[in-house]
Amino acid sequence: MSDARTPAQIEADIAGRRQQLAVTLDEIGVRIHPKTIIGDARAKAASAVDRTAGRACEACRRMAATARGQMVAEDGSPRLERIVPVALVVVGVVGLFRVSVRRRKG
């Protein structure tokens, strides 16, 4: 077991380890820098918003497809027996809203 290294080899090992340590310290410095932390937080928040918006958009698409299925027959013709009552309810709600706004104004 001869581990006879020359002083030049030992110095080269030390220099290499110093270089690795310097790189590691630089990486740590970048990771803990406030701008990096803020940038990472922003990226995570943006990703969460994108996922949530995507889910909401998909839920709206499903609801619209369901509503369309309820209001349109398989052949594509409108189902008046379902559309007319919904339209009357919408008109009634809008009318009540307008009356409410007018009462508040005057």
| CB of 61 closer than 8 Å to CB of 67 | no
The predicted pLDDT at position 53 comes to 95
**Would you say residue 9 has pLDDT above 60?**
yes
> Does any domain span residue 71?
no
Structural domains of the chain, count: 1
**Would you say residue 2 has pLDDT above 90?**
no
Domain range enclosing 87: 76-106
> Does any domain span residue 90?
yes
Alpha-carbon distances of 77 from 6, 69, 73, 74, 106, rounded to whole Å: 91, 11, 5, 7, 45
> Does any domain span residue 101?
yes
End-to-end CA distance of the chain: 102
> Does any domain span residue 15?
no
> Does any domain span residue 103?
yes
Mean pLDDT (the chain) is 92
Summarised one tens digit per residue, pLDDT across range 44-95 is 999 999 999 999 999 999 999 998 888 998 898 999 999 999 999 999 999 9
**Would you say residue 20 has pLDDT above 90?**
yes
> Does any domain span residue 10?
no
Q: Quick one: average pLDDT of 21-32?
A: 93
> Does any domain span residue 88?
yes
